[in-house]
Amino acid sequence: MNEETGNMKRNNEVEIKVHIKKTGQKVVVLHAPKNKKLIDLLRENDIKIDSPCSGSGTCGKCRVRFEGSGVRITNADMRHISKEDLSRGYRLACMCMLTSDAEIYIDEFCEDEMEVLGNSLSINQKADKNKKYGIGIDIGTTTLAVCLVELPHEDRIIGVKTGVNHQRSYGTDVISRIKASKEKGARLKEIIQTDLVNLILELLEETQCSISQISSMAIAGNTTMLHLLRGYDCESLGVYPYTPFSIGLESLKVGDVFPFLKKDNINNIPVTILPGFTAFVGADILSGLYAERPWKKKKGFLFLDLGTNGEMAAGCGDKLYVTSTAAGPVFEGNGISFGVPGIPGAISEAYFRDGKLKLSTIGNKPPVGICGTGVLEIVSALIREGIIDNTGLLKKVYFEKGYPICKAEDGSDIVITQNDIRQVQMAKAAVNVGLDMIFEKLKQKTSEDSTYKAADLSERISGAADSKPYVIISGGFGANLSFDRIKELKMFPEEIIDSGDNVYIAGNTSLKGCAKYLCVEELYGTKIARDTLSIILKNAEEIELSQDDAFSDKYYEAMNF
């Protein structure tokens, strides 16, 4: 057993031995002042622990086990941990104040196994020593991705590396990160810089690409993530009118973005941070549109990224509307009782056959929890079976303890609770209303302006059979999404569900957009590469859902199944 020991214990300090499972039972010895929160101590020492709620005690994910007894039990502990596990020493790290020496055991979060779904990019090739390359970077709230593209050929992405955004220990949604940045902004910046540097170095090593072959980099991400990367003040992103410090394009050098990346000949490599639309419709959406160019279909289109922010864009002709809707963390497996990210063993598919609930897990591993697609499919299946009614109410027999889904590998029950169903209802209602209102805006535009007649989006909305929209589903969540198996949720309009071959599961369009930008810049020059970005931004108009008088009424109506 390995043991890492810090400085000698001082007066008025406690000594904490942290046993980290799944890494050869490594033991880390830490010292902290009395009454320090355990989760803060773990964060400060880079010991990863899952904390989707940012330490507020509402998610119950940061469980640790104390050896021995005497650790105070809090109300949050009692809400999230069974009596049996409490008696065994389990507590929530975010609620635990350290008052004496202790020995704790934690499960290392299996982040390296997190599956980044929907990656349609070719990988695992080797770099040609005689060619030059660019690096594209996508910064997501949960997941990070970097790619190596042979310039100037956007279809020659020879390597992709993905990983977890370790800022998640400060919360899994942007609002939690914004709040955390007020006191921990420098720490959040350091975390994301370190994560990206590690991914870049791993990518170069695996593709056997020399740093001297890299001629440029491009970065996209949601507005909050880019603010945290640059160290900008995020406070205004969290309060109305949600004003970003900066959403413009930035031309930098590697040394400006990653000052501690100590590699020869790298500090002066140009880095472009792509611009965003608004505080909640960021550069990742612009990059995705830049990659896919949906307007070339010459018909109405919808671009949808089903993440925490529910970002979407819809357009026809040369007009583009963008909006975001607070879908919450359900789509990423957070905010539900047994929710997990897309890791091996996560329940990802569900349906009834002959009266029995059939499940599929990622990697066909024993079930460990339920990911985003899994919870949607489970709820939809329970609606079909009449176990959940159209108001979202579970049958009385399941109301208190939830509906049993299956046994986990450790023998515990995985269930769907009434509160889980409410979380799904809020998420699906937000998406449904967002789609409804963005389509309504486009319908008004097409009816007012005769130049849009050819795009026939208004005809599509009124039911014309030959004018189905082109629908792009972006991001990892959409990769395993089955419209047919979740239609009972009534999250998407029938026109989208019936679009059939017009629905394109696009994968990580933000990363592809970065690669495309680098290739266009290499082939045609910086001005042309940026002109297209400027045109998209110029033609875009934001729809602020929360400022629409009809939003609240439509939202509550959309809660029903």
Asked if residue 124 is part of any domain, the answer here is no
In this structure, the answer to whether residues 98 and 21 fall within a common structural domain is yes
Residues 72-85 have pLDDT tens digits of: 899 999 988 888 88
Q: Is the pLDDT of residue 262 over 70?
A: no
Q: What would the mean pLDDT of 459-470 be, rounded to a whole number?
A: 48
Cross-strand bridge partners of residue 270: 253
Asked if residue 497 is part of any domain, the answer here is yes
In this structure, the answer to whether residues 309 and 388 fall within a common structural domain is no
Nearest to 347 by CA among 422, 433, 406: 406
**Among 415, 444, 479, where does a domain finish?**
415
More confident residue, 384 or 5: 384
Percent helix / strand / coil, the chain, rounded to 5: 40, 25, 40
Strand pairing class (102-107; 13-21)? parallel
In this structure, the answer to whether residues 404 and 465 fall within a common structural domain is no
**Among 382, 415, 448, where does a domain finish?**
415
- Kindly report the backbone phi and psi dihedral angles of residue 266, in degrees, each rounded to the nearest multiple of 5, phi listed first: -110, -25
Q: Is the pLDDT of residue 384 over 80?
A: yes
Confidence at residue 189, expressed as pLDDT on a 0 to 100 scale: 97
Asked if residue 139 is part of any domain, the answer here is yes
Element (DSSP H or E) covering residue 251: strand 250-253
Residues 6+ apart with CB under 8 A from 57: 74, 76, 80, 92, 94, 95
Confidence at residue 309, expressed as pLDDT on a 0 to 100 scale: 80
Confidence at residue 10, expressed as pLDDT on a 0 to 100 scale: 65
**Among 415, 441, 469, where does a domain finish?**
415
Confidence at residue 116, expressed as pLDDT on a 0 to 100 scale: 47
- Give the chain's domain count: 4
Q: Is the pLDDT of residue 468 over 60?
A: yes
Q: Is the pLDDT of residue 448 over 80?
A: no
pTM of the model: 0.84
Q: What would the mean pLDDT of 509-538 be, rounded to a whole number?
A: 96
Confidence at residue 386, expressed as pLDDT on a 0 to 100 scale: 96
Residues 171-204 have pLDDT tens digits of: 888 889 999 999 999 999 999 999 999 999 999 9
Asked if residue 535 is part of any domain, the answer here is no
Residues 313-335 have pLDDT tens digits of: 999 877 899 999 988 889 888 88
Confidence at residue 285, expressed as pLDDT on a 0 to 100 scale: 97
User: From residue 316, how far is each of 296, 310, 337, 472, 501 by CA, in Å?
Assistant: 10, 20, 41, 14, 19
Q: What would the mean pLDDT of 471-488 be, rounded to a whole number?
A: 84
Q: Is the pLDDT of residue 312 over 60?
A: yes
SS3 call for 315: strand
More confident residue, 485 or 274: 274
In this structure, the answer to whether residues 11 and 85 fall within a common structural domain is yes
Give the DSSP letter string of 72-121: PPPHHHHHHS-HHHHHTTEEETTT-EE-S-EEEEEEPP-GGG---TT--S
Min mean pLDDT across 104-108, 373-377, 488-492 is at 104-108
Q: Domain range spanning residue 76?
A: 3-109
Q: How confident is the model at residue 308 (pLDDT cuts 50, 70, 90)?
A: confident
Q: Is the pLDDT of residue 124 over 70?
A: no
Q: What would the mean pLDDT of 258-262 be, rounded to a whole number?
A: 76
Average pLDDT score over the chain: 86
Domain holding 19: CATH number?
3.10.20.30
Q: Is the pLDDT of residue 410 over 80?
A: no
CA 272, CA 228: separation in Å to the nearest integer? 16
Q: Is the pLDDT of residue 377 over 90?
A: yes
In this structure, the answer to whether residues 138 and 275 fall within a common structural domain is yes
